Structure 1
Amino acid sequence: MKIVIVGASGNIGSALVREISSSGHEIVGVARRVPEVTPRAEHLASVRWESADIATSDLDPLVAGADVVVHLAWLFQPSHDPDLTWASNAVGTRRLLDAAGRQGVPAVIVSSSVAAYSPGQGTPVDEDWPTDGPSSAAYAREKAYVERLLDVFELEHPDTRVVRVRPAFVFQRSAATAQRRLFGGPLLPGRLLDPKLIPMLPVPTGLQMQTVHSGDLARALAAAIERPVRGAFNITTDDVLDRDALAEVFSAKALDVPAGVVRHALGAAWRLHLVPAPGNLFDALMRLPVMSAERAKAELDWQPQHTGREALEAFLEGVRHGAGSTMPPLDPKSSGPLRSREFGTGIGSRP
């Protein structure tokens, strides 16, 4: 089987490559920045790397002859340039789907997100919950738009097996430094997240979130590759990280902070280019539904090997130690301070 993984060098992609590298399949990793591989290592490697940008490259040659295309590429930054993220995430996804359709790819698997869902109403939601996005944040808007693209693609290509994977927040140790940079900014020292330095943990009132370890998500994706399944799958652990759970993670006393105060402070800091995450992304976080992963457990025979707390702890431990990998997007050497023209307005994190 030939498997083309678009966005293979990122947080999720690197985990999927690890998961299926010994499967015996032909694996093609597509990324804008590919890892450096010596000629000898390339000859022995189980993955062949191709450099491409889904927003501009000719994608037909990359997906031609593929049995499965797995789309994991996503551009989160620069949040101050929504035209750029839209061109990569929304238009790029459409271009990739168009290429897969022209080439007659039998199966397409796309990583959506919990952030595609409309606001929740208290009880865990299954995959039939509306996907209109929880806020006006570009990330949520673009994820919801990708869901509409997949709706159209399924109608136009009924013989193609289409799988949408909607994970909770995805963490692993080797992606920690890169994620710290994307969400907290390059000037946030990882050592500040050491529980020894946090006797009091401010938590927005009403916050609850779900997480999943990258390795567990990779196993769900691998199952979707191998099994004749279709449709959407929520991928998350059962535990929900709320005020008390977060306080336990940090061994700190929780301090309730009004969500409106956090939102306004974050919005002001974002407008001043002090933080990379805008206030309306915080709105999305506060409105996300709690997901049920019962379908994935039943049809993918999937069970997480890590709890949500363990996934978050792996991220925090990685941040404190500056963890990363040799994959270009996850390389800690590229996760330091940015030049002023880049922060929020220039080069972001591409696949």
Structure 2
Amino acid sequence: MRIVVTGATGNIGTGVVAALSADPQVEAITGLARRTAGEPPAKTEYVGADVERDDLVPLFRGAAAVVHLAWLFQPTRRPERTWRSNVLGSLRVFDAAAEAGVPKLVYSSSVGAYSPREDDEPVTEDWPTHGWPGAAYTREKSYLERYLDAFEQRHPELAVVRVRPGFVFQRAAATEQRRLFAGPFIPGSLVRPGLVPVVPDVRGLRFQVVHTADLADAVRRAVTRPVRGAFNIATGPVVDPRFVADLLHARTVPVPAGVVRAAVDAAWRLHAVPASPGLFDAVLRLPLLDTTRAESELDWQPRHDAAETLREFLAGLREGAGADTAPLAPDRHRLHEVATGVGRRP
């Protein structure tokens, strides 16, 4: 079987391509990306394509499945820009898959698509997916859930799988994620045990993570097994400020959420950080995920727990880790792109 993967060179995409290339059932992988990458894994061909503007039907025709991972996190100050790429681009992917006669569509949604929940009882896949309206990311993920509800009614012949992971980390994505959410003024080299004395203990701040390789394995199973519907993907234990403080050998200091929110807002307005205060609001309201369905129907089990996943990510931050693709490139390669104009979009 041939599988098409959009966003093949990003954090999730590199993991999914690697997992699919190792599966003997998969004969070929077409990895779509806006910018070129290094040497592709076995069975894989990288193709330059933009889901927002290019003709996708010829690329999808004859594929056994399309895995849609392409997503633009920035610029948060221009939500109309991310809407065009993430929402309108995704609609083009879904419609092209149907027109090309692809039998399966696997879409990477998010825990951010879920409606807030006041307690810590984990939610199953039937929890409402109305998101948090104050952040572009959660609005976009929620909108696409609504679109897929109607899309599945129009195309019952196409098996649609929605994978809803927690926060996705790996070593190779550490520098990219620092650029996307923390910006250039927070040096990753300082995030090491013993150098961070305190961690703000914000009441209600807790979330779940999953290693990129474990999420990729769940996606591979969703591609190759006769399943449809939504699957929550996360690993344990739940991460909160005390958990992070233990990893950094630091102590926690209680800080009201409003104080942190005001600091994030001020830094965002000063262009010191790229993550918006609305995204902080959304994180405070994320529900926890029940992964029973993935475990029972996909036979999925994570190989990395939360502590191992975050330790690897923090090590990647300290080392300035990256990979041989444009999204995951270390800072020195990104600086070369900016200076030379390589990879720039019109």
Judge same fold: TM > 0.5, yes or no: yes
Q: Which residue of 2 aligns with 1:195?
A: 193
Q: Which residue of 2 aligns with 1:233?
A: 231
Moved more, 279-288 or 243-252: 243-252
Give the direction of change, closer, same or farther, for the CA distance of 1:310–1:336 in structure 2 (3 Å limit).
farther
1:334 positional shift: 4.1
* Deviations 1:299-334, CA, capped at 9 Å, x for gaps: 000000011121111111100000011011101034
Give the direction of change, closer, same or farther, for the CA distance of 1:225–1:131 in structure 2 (3 Å limit).
same
Query: Which residue identity does 1:119 align to in structure 2?
Result: P
Q: Which residue of 1 aligns with 2:293?
A: 295
Q: Alignment partner for residue 183 of structure 2, among 166, 177, 185?
A: 185
Q: Which residue of 1 aligns with 2:251?
A: 253
**Aligned ranges for residues 1-351 of structure 1 at < 5 Å?**
1-24=1-24, 25-37=27-39, 45-122=42-119, 123-332=121-330, 333-335=332-334
1:338 positional shift: 9.8
| Structure 2 spans left out of the alignment, 5+ residues | none
SS at match of 1:195: coil
1:240 positional shift: 0.4
SS at match of 1:66: coil
Number of matched pairs:
338
Moved more, 329-338 or 10-19: 329-338
Query: Which residue identity does 1:157 align to in structure 2?
Result: H
Q: TM-score, normalised by structure 2?
A: 0.94
CA distance in structure 2 between the partners assigned to 1:314 and 1:259 by the alignment = 27
* Deviations 1:47-80, CA, capped at 9 Å, x for gaps: 0111011111111111111110000000001111
Q: Does the 8 Å CA contact 2:124/2:290 hold for their aligned counterparts? A: yes
Query: Which residue identity does 1:18 align to in structure 2?
Result: A
CA distance in structure 2 between the partners assigned to 1:192 and 1:135 by the alignment = 34
Q: Does the 8 Å CA contact 1:54/1:88 hold for their aligned counterparts? A: yes
Q: TM-score, normalised by structure 1?
A: 0.92
| Structure 1 spans left out of the alignment, 5+ residues | none
CA distance in structure 1 between the partners assigned to 2:106 and 2:137 by the alignment = 19
CA distance in structure 2 between the partners assigned to 1:186 and 1:199 by the alignment = 21
CA distance in structure 2 between the partners assigned to 1:338 and 1:58 by the alignment = 27
Give the direction of change, closer, same or farther, for the CA distance of 1:149–1:18 in structure 2 (3 Å limit).
same
Q: Does the 8 Å CA contact 1:79/1:138 hold for their aligned counterparts? A: yes
Give the direction of change, closer, same or farther, for the CA distance of 1:338–1:104 in structure 2 (3 Å limit).
closer
Query: Which residue identity does 2:17 align to in structure 1?
Result: V
* Deviations 1:210-234, CA, capped at 9 Å, x for gaps: 0000000000001001110110000
1:267 positional shift: 1.1
CA distance in structure 2 between the partners assigned to 1:261 and 1:93 by the alignment = 36
Q: Does the 8 Å CA contact 1:113/1:166 hold for their aligned counterparts? A: yes
Give RMSD over aligned pairs: 1.9
SS at match of 1:330: coil
Give the direction of change, closer, same or farther, for the CA distance of 1:274–1:146 in structure 2 (3 Å limit).
same
Identity of aligned residues (%): 52
Q: Does the 8 Å CA contact 2:199/2:241 hold for their aligned counterparts? A: no
SS at match of 2:238: coil
CA distance in structure 1 between the partners assigned to 2:112 and 2:336 by the alignment = 28
CA distance in structure 1 between the partners assigned to 2:185 and 2:87 by the alignment = 29
Q: Does the 8 Å CA contact 1:186/1:338 hold for their aligned counterparts? A: no
